[in-house]
Homo-oligomer: A and B are copies of this chain.
Amino acid sequence: MKSAHLLPRIAGFAALCLATAAAASIPPPPSAVDRAQNDDIAWKITEDLTTEIGPRMAGTEAEAAARKWAVERLKAMGFQNVRDEPFAMPTWVRGEEEASLIGPFHTQPLAVTALGNSGSTGAKGLVGDVAYFASYDDFLAAPDHYIKGKIVFIDHQMAPAQDGSGYGQYGRARFTGPNAAAKRGAIAVIIRSIGTDSHRNPHTGNTNFEAGVAPIPAAAISNPDADQLVRQWRRAQSIRTKETPLGYTPAPLRMKLLLTPRNLGQQQSGNVIADVPGSDPAASPVVVACHLDSWDLGTGAIDDAAGCGIVTAAAKHVMTAGQPRRTIRILWAGAEEVGVHGGRAYFAAHGNQKHAVALESDFGADRVWRVDFKLPESAKSLADRIALAVAPYGVTRGSSPASGGADIGALVRAGVPAIDLRQDGTRYFDLHHTTDDTLDKVDPVQLRQNVLVWTATLAILANSSDNELP
């Protein structure tokens, strides 16, 4: 056990450790990374937040309770300047949700969940014919009369990928499908969940309607339900209801839908911020971010309690090992899921200050497998040192520029350097934005690897020179 743990340390800090061991008979004080070897800080934050607060939808009383909990926890951990920086944001909440396929076959319920910003069907629901599209591009290419007055169903073929690369491509059905369908006269939009599991837990997530477009009901059904809809659709297509000289009219696939979400107008959210003050007050801070809010369906364990646990555990280990030169600023952003309101509020309040570098953990709790950089030329050696420090944990160096996370996106777009400690996303879209995002899905071994990688990285960044980072 011990020798196994020692191995990465020796490999990572080979020259330093061997030299120290040869020169002194008294062992040096534990480094930040030594402390992270037996980390349970990240696990405790994840467990406590998901157990005592649970789901914490942006703008609701549950998110406010989470912020109160967060301020207390960060203070108790010894961080400085712990505060809740409030902001207002438009708040949408889920209502009743039911869907069923009602013909031409025996009526069957579907596992359905509204997308964020969905319109309401009203209390009586609506009934319509399904217009099936095998992909978002098929939907875009279809003539308007296929869409007008219909319940549009958008299918897709997303598969698991370590880098999560399917989300951007297939996610368009969710991000922009309802708006596009509303403009073309659809009465509702149903999408195959932007997810890779085969459980009857549909995946929610935000959609957006342009100003001036009245939101229509928009929802996701689970993968098994989408499979069922496709089977019924295909069978209905071969049922001849009316013969004409040009062919036949197939039986319509009929759906009933009830969604009663509501808009609560502007409500309060906030960013919880804490600092590890650096020894050089003139040095710009390192920002490590996650988001505190979650969707309402699960308890937000992998999205993103674990991320808050990881970045906070790393900051704590660096702090305990000895005051760093730069301030480490921990940002637990509010209202990320529903439009990155916290990230924008942080930028509005602090974007005019200099930031050395920004990192975010918001892709689950599975291991970091790759590191990508977006750093100034001056930081070439810094990047090399980080790549060397994380290599013993199985992290390879990527060649793509770092993109940062949602909550640090405004900073990065404004030129702040960024590093991505990319997590293994193979399982992420099995769980993401579903009721199944719960604590049991967090693997403690992989969570600890995250903390080790983050601690090794943060120890270097927080002690970097002004010649290396802005």
Contact = CB atoms under 8 A, between A and B. Distances in A.
A140 interface: no
B228 A299 contact: yes
Contact of A199 (B47, B231, B235, B436): B436
Copies in the complex: 2
Interface in A182-230: 198-201, 223-224, 227-228
A234 to B, nearest CB: 9
A197 to B, nearest CB: 9
A198 B435 CA distance: 11
A438 interface: yes
A434 B228 CA distance: 16
A52 B440 contact: no
Nearest to A297: B200
A334 interface: no
Contacts of A80: none
A51 B232 contact: yes
A439 interface: yes
Contacts of A235: 51-52
B438 A51 contact: no
Nearest to A56: B106
A106 B65 contact: yes
Contact of A108 (B54, B223, B439): B54
A427 B389 CA distance: 42
Contacts of A105: 51-54
Given A105-B52, A224-B440, A201 B198 contact: no
Nearest to A69: B106
Contact of A228 (B198, B227, B439): B439
A181 to B, nearest CB: 26
Given A436-B199, A436-B200, A440-B198, A106 B228 contact: no
Contacts of A231: 47, 51, 439
Interface of A: 47, 50-55, 62, 65, 105-106, 108-109, 111, 198-201, 223-224, 227-228, 231-232, 235, 298-299, 434-436, 438-441
23 contacts: A51-B228, A51-B231, A51-B232, A51-B235, A52-B106, A53-B105, A53-B106, A55-B109, A62-B106, A65-B106, A198-B440, A199-B199, A199-B201, A200-B201, A200-B298, A200-B434, A200-B436, A200-B438, A224-B436, A224-B439, A227-B438, A228-B439, A231-B439
